[in-house]
Amino acid sequence: MAYKLLLLHLQIELMKLEIHPKAQALIFDLDGTLSDSLPTHIASWHAVCKKLNCIFDEQMLIEMTGMPTSSYQ
């Protein structure tokens, strides 16, 4: 659990979301429907693994893209 929280914290640190002061709403595209977020996910995982000194297998993420997590056990 602590490991997952560390990864989440590192991903949020890397995002550095800036919101325009006049914004009245935000749209969250969590599944890639509105934009292709795969390159951002890959870059984030590489950054996290660099900090944790581990290897990230891009191919695994690419193969899982669009599939329910429950499909991979």
Is residue 42 a part of any domain in this protein?
A: yes
Total of domains in the chain: 1
Number of H helices, E strands in the chain: 3, 0
- Residue 18 forms part of a structural domain: no
The model's pTM:
0.51
| 23 domain-assigned | no
- pLDDT given at position 27: 74
Residue 6 belongs to a domain = no
Q: Is residue 59 part of a domain?
A: yes
> How high is the mean pLDDT in each 10-residue block of the chain (73 residues)?
51 66 77 76 89 90 77 63
Specify if 56 maps to a domain. Answer: yes
Closest by CA to 51, choosing from 13, 16, 18, is: 13
- Tell me 48's DSSP state: H
> Domain range spanning residue 57?
38-66
C-alpha distances in Å from residue 17, one per residue of 1, 2, 50, 65: 25, 24, 22, 23
CB half-sphere exposure, 7, CA atoms < 13 A: 12
